[in-house]
């Protein structure tokens, strides 16, 4: 039933955006998690979104219309960690260096705003679709 597809689509959007908000929260929470080893330091994580088309999911019912969205994976940033000279830190290596995560706080904040706006859009779509559907149910009364 095509009318209820709106809820699937908006719901998938909500799920995807909340994964994105989660990764932002994780990145921001770990921004100061320094380590003495560049290999084991926390790396910024970012979700990868992918469109899922209705025709692929519905099989025989080959109706192409709006596709939902899904998180196809979470990538770790490959940027090198920030090296900080801090000999007093108990985690410092032999040279007195500690390694801070490659999290760009400004990037994360803009990402958070973008995710929150997209989430609001999806909520609005869902609530409007619900109103329309309830109005349709009252048709002829």
Partner 1 sequence: MTLSIDGYLGVQQDALKIFGRRTAVLASNLANADTPNFKARDVDFKSLLAQHGAAAGSLPLSAPQAMHVSTTAAADPTQSSAFLKYRVPLAPSLDGNTVDAQLEQAAFADNTVRYQAALSFLGERFKSLLTAITGQ
Q: What residue ranges bind partner 1 (CB under 8 A)?
A: 2-3, 5-6, 9-10, 12-13, 16-17, 20, 48-51, 55, 61-69, 114-115, 117-118, 121-122, 124-125, 128-129, 132, 135-136, 139-140
By CB atoms closer than 10 A (0-12, 13-18, 19+), residue 34 is: buried
Closer residue to partner 1, CB minimum distance, 55 or 92:
55
Q: How far is the CB of 5 from partner 1 (least distance, A)?
A: 5
Q: 14 and 69 in contact (C-beta within 8 Å)? A: no
Q: How far is the CB of 45 from partner 1 (least distance, A)?
A: 16
70 forms beta bridges with 50
Closer residue to partner 1, CB minimum distance, 27 or 68:
68
Q: 49 and 111 in contact (C-beta within 8 Å)? A: no
Distance CA(45)–CA(22), nearest Å, equals 10
Closer residue to partner 1, CB minimum distance, 3 or 80:
3
């Amino acid at each position: 039933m095509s009318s209820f597809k709106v809820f699937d689509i908006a719901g998938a959007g909500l799920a995807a955006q909340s994964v994105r908000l989660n990764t932002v929260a994780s990145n921001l929470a770990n921004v100061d998690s320094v380590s003495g080893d560049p290999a084991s330091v926390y790396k910024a994580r970012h979700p990868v979104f992918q469109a899922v088309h209705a025709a692929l999911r519905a099989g025989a019912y080959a109706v192409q219309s709006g596709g939902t969205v899904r998180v196809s994976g979470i990538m770790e940033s490959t940027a090198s960690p920030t090296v900080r000279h801090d000999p007093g830190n108990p985690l410092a290596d032999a040279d007195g260096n500690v390694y801070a995560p490659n999290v760009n706080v400004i990037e994360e904040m803009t990402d958070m705003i973008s995710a929150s706006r997209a989430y609001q859009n999806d909520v609005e779509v869902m609530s409007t679709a619900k109103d329309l559907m309830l109005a349709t149910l009252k048709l002829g009364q």
